[in-house]
Amino acid sequence: MDQMPVKMEHLLHELSVLPLSEGAGFSLTNYMFWLIIAVVMVLVFFVAASRKVKLVPSGIGNMAEAGVDFVRNSICVDVIGPEGKKYFPFLGTIFFFVLFNNLLGNIPPALPGTGTVGTTFTWAIIVFIVYNAIGIKKLGFFKYIGSLVPKGTPWWLSWLLFLIELISHLLRPFTLGVRLFANMYAGHIMLGVFAAFAGIFIEQLSPASIAIVPLSVVMQIALRVFELLVAVLQAYIFTILTAVYIGGALEAGSH
């Protein structure tokens, strides 16, 4: 058991952002290595699938269609409305990027590209810029900013509401980024902890090993399944929140 702190240290080090080469200057990090692989997988998958679509769907084309249809109808149209289809390329890019990274991170020894704030904050900031740009494009800059305060608010209350709304908007990229990062990071910590348990009790066989090693293996399997669910769910949540923000920006002028 005295090995646990060492193992934990090792695990945390493995999951931290590390440059691939130790020299000075530009270097990819461990997370970026897997992120690039995931991005290439998305590109290959969709470019291949787009060449294979047929009126009667089958194979890879069918899979891609199911994913596209899900994002386009169950996210874009359901959340934003009929005009939501216009924003599908953006929302689809987000969904499949996050999904592929999350899923790839579930296959050892890969790390999820979304398990680092460098990724999640960058994408959350892109979302922030895009949804505000959509609102400004529709209403004009001053009208959009003005729409933060509901019409008919007394003047002495409006500055307070404006401040609250402004803060809530500015917090959005932060919460969006942290939610995805924490889910992916925490999942891998959990997997690492049970792997470490199994490792320690196999190295130092004791009567407790009989119970703890099988339990750790069972937990490892259960958590892998759970992580698959989390991977899909977090991709869905990140995308649907983006859709909600875009929908809110489009409706800003109407209340």
Binding site for another protein (CB under 8 A): 16-17, 19, 26-29, 31-32, 35-36, 39, 42-43, 46-47, 49-51, 53-55, 57, 61, 64-65, 68-69, 72, 85, 88-90, 92-93, 96-97, 116-119, 121-123, 126, 178, 181, 185
What is the closest distance, in whole angstroms, from the C-beta atom of residue 51 to another protein in the complex? 7
Give every CB contact of residue 92 below 8 A, 6+ residues apart in sequence: 68, 71, 72
CA distance 45 to 209: 44
> In this complex, which beta carbon is closest to another protein, that of residue 64 or of residue 231?
64
Q: How far is the CB of 41 from another protein (least distance, A)?
A: 11
Residue 162 or 174 having the CB closest to another protein: 174
Q: Which is nearer to another protein, 27 or 153 (CB)?
A: 27
User: Whole-number minimum distance, CB 50 to another protein, in Å?
Assistant: 4
Between 125 and 213, CB nearer to another protein: 125
81: Cβ–Cβ under 8 A, 6 or more apart, which residues?
Answer: 247
The answer to whether 98 touches 230, Cβ cutoff 8 Å, is no
d(CA 21, CA 24): 8
User: Minimum distance between the CB of residue 135 and another protein, rounded to whole angstroms?
Assistant: 19
Evaluated on CA atoms 143, 145, 146, 150, the torsion sign reads positive
CB of residue 223 to another protein, shortest distance in Å = 21
For another protein, the closer CB: 39 or 110 = 39
User: Is residue 167 packed enough to be buried (19+ CB in 10 Å), middle (13-18) or exposed (0-12)?
Assistant: exposed
Q: Which is nearer to another protein, 89 or 150 (CB)?
A: 89
Helices (H) and strands (E) in the chain, counts: 8, 0
What whole-number distance in Å separates Cα of residue 91 and Cα of residue 70? 11
Q: Which residues pair with 19 in a beta bridge?
A: 29
d(CA 58, CA 75) in angstroms, rounded, equals 23
> Closer to another protein at the Cβ: 97 or 201?
97
Give how far the C-alpha of residue 153 lies from the chain's centroid of Cα atoms, to the nearest Å.
37
Least distance between another protein and beta carbon 46 (Å): 4
Closest separation in Å from C-beta 231 to another protein:
18
